[in-house]
Structure 1
Amino acid sequence: MGLYFLIKLAVCAVLLRSTPAGGYVYQMIYDCEYGDNITDVVFFVKNIFNQKLCTMYDSRVGKYVGFGEYCMRNADHYNNQAWKMIQRRHQVETLCRYNTRLFRRSTLDRKVRPIVVVHQTKPADYGERSMLECSVLGFFPQEVRVSWLRDGAEVTSDVSSTDVHANGDWTFQLHSYLEFTPRRGQRVSCRVEHSSLTGSLEVDWDTFELEAKYLKKTVGIIFFFLGFAAAAGGAAYYWWKQRFDFSPLRREEQTSHLSEL
């Protein structure tokens, strides 16, 4: 509820920036400022009349300060209201520090692990120039480091990368590219370092498709030679059978031929 209230105040401040003709605009803005240590919170309540700061409550001094004679009288009036001063002191905790914790959990302390995918940008055989893409997706916060490894050694040449892009859902993405020539038995990896990870994350390029392509070629060649050998063996057997046919009918024909002689 506190964060929603702050958002409403900010919207009202934007809508009331301009003074309507012949009218007056009075604004009250609650402002919380803090550093890395959320215990050091400064709470301001600013009363603005026609875009000019009139009075301001400062939690560091614990009272209102006025700017100008009329506004100084208003500041004294506010400071003499015990209930208002108690409310302001409590708001340092209930409004500022409470929402600061929510803000830190949802932004500064939020961690989302990246999803890493490595693939070829276009098909290429071993020995042909190709490119790998490492897509690092859906991570938070924005700071990330991506590098390439070849057989465990970092590659520094022929590497390019996009800028870190916001996805619109409080996550980011980045794409890194490596130009290289694939070699059989070579291990190529994309290494990602991010605050959401306990250590670096290494994802290997999967060469299954390339190996499957070579396996298909090898199997095709083997079956071709097996078929060729079977055909050649069949032809040789047919020729041998025709040349040296020892069937009973053939022997009878040969015996009859010899008797005639």
Structure 2
Amino acid sequence: MTPNVLFHSFDVFIIIQSLQGFAQFFVNMCSVLIKKKPFMVHSCFFSRDGHFITILDLCYSRGEDPHDVEYIWRAIPDLVKVMEYNSSLNRLTGYTPIGTHNAEQLNTDPVVLASFQTPLHFFCKHYGAVAYEAGGTSKKKPPSVHLSMRPHGDRHPSMLTCSAYNFYPKQIRVTWLRNGQEVTSNMTSSEELANGDWHHQIHSYLEYTPTPGEKISCIVEHTSFTEPKILHWDMSLPESERSKMAIGASGLVLGVVFAAAGLLYYNRRKTTGMELVPTS
């Protein structure tokens, strides 16, 4: 029995069990995992004739309101995604021929579409709000800030990246300083990107040509900080260039050592009157 045929024979049973009887089904037959991206996962498994079907209920946040969520219902027989419901579209989408056929039929049934509102409200909005409060997401969370560099190529300058991860709320400001002066050119920043669990991230990029003695700093301002967080990048050369210099210096030192050893050996032989006699 192929996944498509299996799904075709199970589709009515799955929808009835996982949607109309959701509350009891939720408690007795399925597992729930609170995590990030999405912030909640509800999974169920059915088996028949050596085949199995996985049903996933996924919840994603769409903003800072714990009730502003997106619900995804996904049917996966034998590891093949066949059909999916998206609450933002309020419709089913098929990913295989039989899945597309079933989706087209079910999208015309208002009762089926209305059935998806039960897990949307009961699972995502209700339990999502509980997880939101229990996880302290309603409170300020400071960003984790990192400063890194991508080495330059032959024709391109280096790129410094200042990244802030997992912060809340999303309002944040990232700026650059060069020798204490704010940088206003050769820089770009991403928008605040949602993680899907009410937290956010942002990345700012600065083109950078290494100059001896120059100091570059990234400043991150967030409401969770009592004062701006400043990360300094004051290295005159990128890691790759510093490695090349270290290797070159090591080679020079070894050369001096061997030259000194050779000179010492020659002087000792000369002092003792020993000479090298060529052999035929």
Q: TM-score, normalization: structure 2? A: 0.43
Structure (1/2) with the larger helix percentage: 1
Q: TM-score, normalization: structure 1? A: 0.46
RCO (CA 8 Å, sep 6+): is it higher in 1 or 2? 2
